[in-house]
Amino acid sequence: MEKFLIQNEFGQPQELLGEEIVVPGFEELQFILHAWLYDKRGGWAVTERSSGKRITSGPQGTEHLAQEQLERQLRLHGKDALMRVLGKGPLSS
């Protein structure tokens, strides 16, 4: 596990304890798999670091599906759509 300091989607500093996920074709973006409150229970989320935006999430115990789910969403929507969404709002340094 690694610590990542980001500005979340609300512009507030947040420290995430997690691991980086590298997605082929999206290497210029840093995705972080970390713990997250999901449906009032424990779970996981994948957040894009520079924007602080959560891309996908799931319930506890399904972390092994995180990269597959992230890649599926990225293929479905495409890089251009993702970059437009990530470009809205301030970026974390």
Q: Helix, strand, or coil here: 10? A: coil
Q: Give 37-65 as a 3 state SS string.
A: EECCEEEEEEEECCCCEEEEEEECCCHHH
User: What is the reported pLDDT for 90?
Assistant: 53
pLDDT digits (tens, 9 = 90+) for 8-50: 888 899 999 999 999 999 999 999 999 988 777 889 999 999 8
Q: Would you say residue 61 has pLDDT above 70? A: yes
pTM, rounded to two decimals: 0.85
Q: Which amino acid is at 14?
A: Q
Q: Taking Cα atoms as reference points, which of 17, 37, 29, 12 lies closest to residue 70? A: 29
